[in-house]
Amino acid sequence: MDIFVIQGGRRLDGTVRVSGAKNAVLPLMAASILADGPIEIAGTPRLRDISTLGKLLAHMGASVETVGDGGDGREAVRIDPSGIRNPEAPYDLVKTMRASVLVLGPLVARHGRARISLPGGCAIGARPIDQHLKGLSLLGAKASLSEGYVEIEASRLSGAVVYFDMKTVTGTENLMMAATLAKGTTVLKNAAQEPEVCCLAGALRSMGADIEGEGSDEIVVRGVPALRGVRHEVIPDRIEASTLLLAGAITGGDVTVSGAVPSAMDAVLQKLAESGAEISTVPGGVRVRREGPIRSVNVETSPYPGFPTDVQAQFMAYMCLGDGFSIVRETIFENRFMHVAELRRMGARIDVSGNTAAVKGVSALSGAPLMATDLRASASLVLAGLAAPGTTEVLRIYHLDRGYESLENKLSSLGACISRVKE
């Protein structure tokens, strides 16, 4: 198993390019199931979650290949869904990635049936899929549970009004995809507003779907008889961009993330500015600089456009070095403080009560051996390691490899001393 070894305490400086958004690529890959022709997703990062979904689509009969992308070093994934005969997602693939549930809506809409292993809980919480199933049932699908699998069938889905009990990103995406081929009009109320939902809506529209309202909390989808193949450019990863900016801020550095879209990151950029970092929008990117102390600020996660749960752990690492008290409240997932115990081992002072962490800033953290527990928690440990004098080893970085493309190379290019070694 690979680990990261970090010699911390160096100021990061320079420009780094953001990759395409994992959480935008995954629904686009699932949307390929709906099409009559091949889909090409440009700007796809090389990540484990993306190859896992590729394997799942191949298991169902699709042909999935990686192709070059116009000479800029970025890749595209090309999926030809015409060979799909087996609308099943087995446990072995679903258990490693919950986003596999995204194939449910497209399969039932295009093939009339789906059988997918029910995803269990995961490290960050219970994460049920009741809203996905409720929505598909409202569209006329019959869902049943047997031997740990969800089986769902419908001859043709029919449009309906679906009210989500809570904002769910993949739930909204699943229903939006299913509704594209349904008979009649579907209205998704209390829909998720994330940029990744908008990216999917844009791609579906290029495929011939009739969708409006994405980005608001009500999305209207008028069903069409068929969708065609397209090439679609994926949006930049706002979570990776936020993590890289935090790497600049936590080390008192000067970092520009090229390709980052500031309007998709308002909540994070504002908190960085409140903490005393200087944020500026530069042509084609965002720059962060910090010279003075880190001011402790409070953050509370909430659905977009609120502060993203996927940046909570990284921001908490930053607050560990704040000049006072910071309250970090997690409202999306019930178990997303697993980085706390590891940060404490570096000298952080954090008390947790329920979904709230009180972080008392310390003047310095110290390097330590650490265990990564989930994707974003791993990133927070890397940030803390970059700021802490001494050596930090981050174990189990396979979690990090699910969602960050060559993070060690990107950070090294900014002057960090970080290497990947075999344990």
Catalytic residues: 122
242 near ligand EPU, judged by CB under 6 A: no
127 near ligand EPU, judged by CB under 6 A: yes
Q: Which stretch binds ligand EPU (CB under 6 A): 50-58, 127-135, 379-387, 391-399?
A: 127-135
Q: Which stretch binds ligand EPU (CB under 6 A): 74-82, 105-113, 164-172, 364-372?
A: 164-172
237 near ligand EPU, judged by CB under 6 A: no
**Least distance from ligand EPU to the Cβ atom of residue 175, Å:** 10
**Least distance from ligand EPU to the Cβ atom of residue 309, Å:** 5
Binding residues among 84-113 for ligand EPU as defined by CB under 6 A: 98-99
- Of 180 and 243, nearer to ligand EPU (C-beta) is 243
Residue 26's CB is within 10 A of a number of other CB atoms, namely 25
Distance of alpha carbon 251 from alpha carbon 415, whole angstroms: 11
Distance of alpha carbon 46 from alpha carbon 20, whole angstroms: 9
Binding residues among 18-37 for ligand EPU as defined by CB under 6 A: 23, 26
**Least distance from ligand EPU to the Cβ atom of residue 263, Å:** 18
> Are 394 and 382 within 8 A, CB to CB?
yes
CA 151, 155, 156, 160 dihedral sign is negative
168 near ligand EPU, judged by CB under 6 A: yes
**Least distance from ligand EPU to the Cβ atom of residue 148, Å:** 17
132 near ligand EPU, judged by CB under 6 A: yes
171 near ligand EPU, judged by CB under 6 A: yes
- Kindly give the residue spans of alpha helices, DSSP state H, lying in 291-404: 312-319, 339-345, 375-387, 398-401
Q: What is the dihedral of CA 239, 241, 243, 248, to 10 degrees?
A: -160
Widest Cα–Cα separation across the chain: 63
- Binder among 376, 401, 408, 410 for ligand EPU (CB under 6 A): 376
Distance of alpha carbon 142 from alpha carbon 89, whole angstroms: 18
> Are 312 and 336 within 8 A, CB to CB?
yes
Q: Which stretch binds ligand EPU (CB under 6 A): 53-61, 168-176, 183-191, 358-366?
A: 168-176
- Binder among 112, 125, 293, 306 for ligand EPU (CB under 6 A): 125
Which two three-digit tokens encode residue 103?
């194939």
- Of 127 and 289, nearer to ligand EPU (C-beta) is 127
> Are 78 and 39 within 8 A, CB to CB?
yes
128 near ligand EPU, judged by CB under 6 A: yes
399 near ligand EPU, judged by CB under 6 A: no
Give the DSSP letter of residue 148. Answer: T
- Binder among 44, 117, 131, 380 for ligand EPU (CB under 6 A): 131
**Least distance from ligand EPU to the Cβ atom of residue 125, Å:** 5
> Are 380 and 313 within 8 A, CB to CB?
yes
> Are 259 and 17 within 8 A, CB to CB?
yes
- Binder among 25, 89, 129, 414 for ligand EPU (CB under 6 A): 129
296 near ligand EPU, judged by CB under 6 A: no
CA-nearest of 4, 56, 1, 50 to 24 is 50
332 near ligand EPU, judged by CB under 6 A: yes
- Binder among 214, 233, 310, 401 for ligand EPU (CB under 6 A): 310
Distance of alpha carbon 423 from alpha carbon 403, whole angstroms: 21
CA 16 remoteness from chain centre:
19
Q: What is 265-322 written as a DSSP string? A: -HHHHHHHHHTT-EEEEETTEEEEE--SPPPP--EEB-STTSB-GGGHHHHHHHHTT-
309 near ligand EPU, judged by CB under 6 A: yes
**Least distance from ligand EPU to the Cβ atom of residue 113, Å:** 20
Which two three-digit tokens encode residue 265?
């990151």
Residues lying near ligand EPU in the complex (CB under 6 A):
23, 26, 98-99, 125-132, 166, 168-171, 196, 309-310, 332-333, 375-376, 403
